[in-house]
Structure 1
Amino acid sequence: MSSLTNNCYYLSLLTAILAQGIFCVNASAVPRTTIVETPATKNTRFVYAPISIPVSGEVNDTLSDRDIPTGDGGFARDYSIQLKAGDQIAIDLTSETFDAVVTLLNSEGKTIGKNDDGPDGTSNSLLFTRIKDTGNYVIRVQGFGETSSGAFKLKVSKLKAQ
C-alpha cells in the first residue's frame, strides 16, 4: 500500500472474483463512499453510494455476489438513513434464504449496534437502538457465512417515546 495525494491510497488487491488490479478507494464521511476500480485488464469505473431509506421505511431487495465484499468471503449491501438524536428505532431484517445479519454504523464507520439472530429464535435479525447524535447512518445488510445471498426484507421503524 502506498500513499499518493489527498489521502488517496493505491492498493494491489486480489478480489473475491479473482480479478487482480490496482484499486483507488477514496472515502469521505459515510454514507458517501466512492470506489474507483482500475484493474490491469480493464478500465471500468464503479461509483458506490449506499441506497437511501427513510425512517419508517421498508425495502425488499436481494443480496448477491455483485454487492460489497466483506473480506470474510461474504457480501453486504448498505442503506443510508438520516437519524436524529433521541430517535429510538427498530431495524428488522428478514430472509428466507440466508442467515441475516444487520449492522448500524455511524458517519465515522463505527458500529453502533449489530444483531445476528433475533429474539424469536430464527436466523432473522432485529436491532433496537437509541440514537445519540443527529446525522447520517448506514444500515448494513449481510449474511452470516460465505455463501449468504438471496432475497430479504429490511424494515426500519421509529419507536414512540413513552
Structure 2
Amino acid sequence: MKHSLGKRWYSVLFLATSILTIGYPLPIFAQKLYSPLPLPNNNQVSDTLTDQDIPTGEGGFARDYFIDLDEGDQVAVDLISDDFDAIVILMASDGSTIAENDDGPDGSTNSLLFTRITERGRYIIRVRAFGETGSGNYTLKVTRLRPVN
C-alpha cells in the first residue's frame, strides 16, 4: 500500500513538473519592437538623439523615420546638429542603403544628401552620430526637389 502511494505521488509530481516546465503558458514580456517614426506632413522634425534609441552596433545610437516616396522623386535630406557630427542614411524598406552622407558640402559636420528615387515605396531615413558618444538635438528636413521649367 505504501509503495503504491509513493508511485502515485511520483506520477503527480512528474506530471506537474512537466506541465510547468514544458507546456504551461507563462507570460512573456516582448521586447520593444522596431518601429520607425513617421516623418511629419511638413517633412521636417526637430528631435533629440539619445542612448534610448536604436543601438548601431558600433557603439552609437540611431533614430529612424519613414517616408513614402514615388518613383522619380528627387529628394534632398538635410540633417543639422550643433551637438554631434551628424550622419544621415536613406534606406529601402528591406534595410539596404540607398544613399549616405557624413559631412555637408559647406565643410561642417552637418549632413546633406541628394538622391533620385527609382522605385515607389516606403523609405527609412536614419539619423545617427559619427562615433560612439554622439547625442543631442537635431533637425531633419526632407525636400522634394522639382525641376525648373
Overall identity of the aligned pairs, in %: 56
Question: Which consecutive aligned stretches of 4+ in structure 1 deviate over 2 angstroms post-superposition?
Answer: none
Mapping for residues 41-80 of structure 1, pairs under 5 Å? 43=29, 45-54=31-40, 56-80=42-66
Q: Aligned partners of 1:150, 1:55: CA distance in 2, in Å?
A: 23
Moved more, 49-58 or 113-122: 49-58
Q: How does 1:1-162 map to 2 (within 5 A)?
A: 43=29, 45-54=31-40, 56-162=42-148
Runs (5+) with no aligned partner, structure 2? 1-27
Q: Which structure: greater strand fraction? A: 1
How many Å apart are 1:56 and its aligned residue? 5.0
Aligned residue-pair number = 121
Amino acid at match of 1:132: T
Equivalent position SS for 1:72: coil
- Cα RMSD of the aligned pairs, angstroms, is 1.4
TM-score by length of 1: 0.71
Q: Supply the distance in 2 between the matched residues of 1:130 and 1:44 (Cα, whole angstroms).
A: 38
Contact 1:56–1:157 at 8 Å: present in 2 too?
no
How far the C-alpha of 1:67 sits from its partner, in A, is 0.2
Name the structure where helix makes up a greater proportion of residues.
Answer: 2
Amino acid at match of 1:63: L
Query: For 2:144 and 2:118, how far apart are their aligned partners in 1?
Result: 14
* Cα distance change, pair 128–55 in 1 and its aligned pair in 2 (3 A): farther
Matched residues in 1 for 2:45 and 2:86: separation? 14
Determine helix, strand or coil for the equivalent of 1:77: strand
TM-score by length of 2: 0.77
Deviation at 1:48, TM superposition (A): 2.7
Post-superposition offset of 1:129: 0.4
Amino acid at match of 2:34: Y
Structure 1 pair 54–86 and aligned structure 2 pair: CA distance change class (3 A):
farther
CA radius of gyration, larger in: 2
- Indicate the structure whose relative CO is greater, using CA pairs within 8 Å and at least 6 residues apart: 2
Question: What's the CA shift for 1:46?
Answer: 1.2
Shift of 1:161: 1.9
Q: Tell me the equivalent position of 1:31.
A: none
Task: Extract unaligned runs of 5+ from structure 1.
Answer: 1-37
Cα distance, 1:44 vs structure 2: 5.7
